[in-house]
Structure 1
């Protein structure tokens, strides 16, 4: 109740969390079992507890029934396939929370019926996560009425850190919290580094394009030598000649930049709604390429492209403005 009363918290539900082994007639695999109350508002089986990280992903029951969770176990799709079971099959859950006997430590083993299979699209969860009823998990882990923690769903995922601090302030010591950003710190650090690398690569591509603009203008100066000489003979100043070629190069850069940005935004919008680029879930974190337009990034890219293109026009424009009309007409 205290956690649910914190501003920004939509729902909260207790859970029990433990590493176990799952054994079936055709295979065995390590798994993470999570004991939940499927009737609670914060139950992850109805709204995935990684919603803060992947807003568009929610587990969908592809077979079985989530209401049947109490007497059985719900497995991730990849986990169910790895041990060769389907809805209605029986498996054994082996927990390290056992008892000490004269022959040593004996793990706890309990038989479960597979009552459901879920698919989140997040391979690590689909390949390792299993849900059982909260009370069953408490008995299995021999923790009576205790729980491992309280799962919290917030209204604004970007306020999760502030809400986390508010929960700690409300509950006090010895309680502690971990939000989705802290849980995935390494992942986001990798994304940040990748974004910087992509910016460097994009900058290099723009620089190459700028060299193309410069070479085009230089060839134009060489081809228009007599025309430039005639303009100067008619009274055109060095500055006016310089402006002509700077304007020409800037227009070329502007047309290329606007066309590229328009095609890029169109591609992002189509990809966001139609998801025509699919990714293998066992390799990447997503089954489709996620897209989010950041107009601040678009503005920086456009500005950088235009600045580089402008700089690329300076040398050809300078050479054109310094052209000697007498020599140009004599040897042209």
Structure 2
């Protein structure tokens, strides 16, 4: 029989334990751990959720890696064409982490109405385009189909639709300037089949998704010429390594750029969330540990006579310390249980019902996103438990300073 565990269990099960002088302090210690776990889980789930959501939106418009011509002009008006007759297209077999590759092209135009106009970039896509992200963004109508013959169906953003009073089924003229400005512009009449809203204003105010064959015709390109390739991978965490592998497999005349390199400001901003999250975790663990130290000190003082009796009966300091550490472990586990129960329940409620809104103009999302993963939940719990238990070794040293004679007479 484990004597220390047996005594600790008897102390915990005793009714007087729950109504003793130390009871309020114990409850505060348990509450501190529970609140700490709740705050940490929320900080991690929402921090990672926001990072992932923003990252996915940027990837939706660019892919994880973009491959284009080295001397390609950054302007949407004068992309240098590249052939789609590449070893890595239509399947990038050389790099196993690549899940999809698609050919796209862009061209600037002016949407012209009777009393209004708006600048836009027509992003031309084809039959190989993966609509996974835009299925989530779609708020009205349906996605266009470019698998058959060339058509004028487009997907327009809710931002542009509201500014120009467009709705699904409307048609509009888009003017494309020619290199020779003395010649009249080319005009295409597009038909709106769907309206999307990514919440990312920088892209929503710019992009109209259309048929890549119109861009090829306007630029007088061959059928196999495109503006760039967008590459998608299976694991964002391996982006840097995958980008290097992709770059090694492409021609020296082509330039591969990762999404983080193309959008440094956005990714530097969302990386700050990591620092904030780690700071919150550290603070909450320290607060929970200090509260548990206080609770253990009170328990030790309250059980001074018991310590004296045990020492008089021959118990050593290590054995008595184990009793109180078992006791404290129980309190920590109770705090962890309630913290996880409440914290995960709150996160599930937010994930299912979108209870807490956000300013989309500042955070690019309309509600607080939640990312739940068993890995970080287990890590937070183990980390909190271990750190709190290690911190409790400090006050338990007091036990060795207690004299049996004085302790027995302590009142």
* Shorter-chain TM-score tier: 0.7 to 0.9
Matches within 5 A, 1:122-271: 122-124=199-201, 125-140=203-218, 142-145=219-222, 146-153=225-232, 156-158=234-236, 168-265=247-344, 267-268=346-347
For the structure 1 residues 11 and 256, does the alpha-carbon distance in structure 2 shift closer, same or farther, using more than 3 Å as the test?
closer
The question of whether the paired residues in 1 share the 8 Å contact of 2:144 and 2:154 is answered with no
Tell me how far 1:201 sits from its aligned partner: 0.9
Q: Residue by residue, what CA displacement relative to the aligned partner does 1:174-222 show, whole Å, maximum 9, x if unpaired?
A: 1222344544554444434312321221221121111111112222233
Q: Alignment partner for residue 106 of structure 2, among 17, 41, 50?
A: 17
Q: Alignment partner for residue 32 of structure 1, among 121, 131, 134?
A: 121
Q: Does 1:100 align with 2:181?
A: yes
For the structure 1 residues 22 and 319, does the alpha-carbon distance in structure 2 shift closer, same or farther, using more than 3 Å as the test?
same
In structure 2, how many angstroms separate the alpha carbons of the residues matched to 1:162 and 1:238? 54
Q: Alignment partner for residue 162 of structure 2, among 81, 90, 113?
A: 81
Give the secondary structure class of the aligned counterpart of 2:181.
strand
In structure 2, how many angstroms separate the alpha carbons of the residues matched to 1:26 and 1:331? 92
Q: Does 1:43 align with 2:120?
A: no
For the structure 1 residues 188 and 290, does the alpha-carbon distance in structure 2 shift closer, same or farther, using more than 3 Å as the test?
farther
Number of aligned positions between the proteins: 314
In structure 2, how many angstroms separate the alpha carbons of the residues matched to 1:89 and 1:298? 49
Give the secondary structure class of the aligned counterpart of 2:256.
coil
In structure 2, how many angstroms separate the alpha carbons of the residues matched to 1:284 and 1:222? 51
Give the secondary structure class of the aligned counterpart of 1:248.
helix
Question: Which stretch of structure 1 is more off in the superposition, 116-125 or 248-257?
Answer: 116-125
Tell me how far 1:251 sits from its aligned partner: 2.3
For the structure 1 residues 162 and 329, does the alpha-carbon distance in structure 2 shift closer, same or farther, using more than 3 Å as the test?
closer
In structure 1, how many angstroms separate the alpha carbons of the residues matched to 2:247 and 2:192? 36
Q: Residue by residue, what CA displacement relative to the aligned partner does 1:51-79 show, whole Å, maximum 9, x if unpaired?
A: xxxxxx64437226624982354311222
Larger helix fraction of residues? 2
For the structure 1 residues 327 and 164, does the alpha-carbon distance in structure 2 shift closer, same or farther, using more than 3 Å as the test?
closer
The question of whether the paired residues in 2 share the 8 Å contact of 1:121 and 1:287 is answered with no
In structure 2, how many angstroms separate the alpha carbons of the residues matched to 1:180 and 1:246? 50
Q: Which runs of 5+ in 1 are unaligned?
A: 50-56
Give the secondary structure class of the aligned counterpart of 1:212.
helix
Aligned to 1:62: 140
The question of whether the paired residues in 1 share the 8 Å contact of 2:168 and 2:195 is answered with no
Give the secondary structure class of the aligned counterpart of 1:177.
strand
For the structure 1 residues 292 and 331, does the alpha-carbon distance in structure 2 shift closer, same or farther, using more than 3 Å as the test?
closer
For the structure 1 residues 287 and 294, does the alpha-carbon distance in structure 2 shift closer, same or farther, using more than 3 Å as the test?
farther
Aligned to 1:312: 391
TM norm structure 2: 0.63
Aligned to 1:116: 193
Question: Which stretch of structure 1 is more off in the superposition, 263-272 or 251-260?
Answer: 263-272
The question of whether the paired residues in 1 share the 8 Å contact of 2:306 and 2:408 is answered with no
Give the secondary structure class of the aligned counterpart of 2:311.
helix
RMSD of the alignment, in Å?
3.6
In structure 2, how many angstroms separate the alpha carbons of the residues matched to 1:314 and 1:10? 51
For the structure 1 residues 117 and 205, does the alpha-carbon distance in structure 2 shift closer, same or farther, using more than 3 Å as the test?
same
For the structure 1 residues 320 and 13, does the alpha-carbon distance in structure 2 shift closer, same or farther, using more than 3 Å as the test?
closer
In structure 2, how many angstroms separate the alpha carbons of the residues matched to 1:121 and 1:294? 28
Tell me how far 1:279 sits from its aligned partner: 4.4
In structure 1, how many angstroms separate the alpha carbons of the residues matched to 2:394 and 2:100? 63
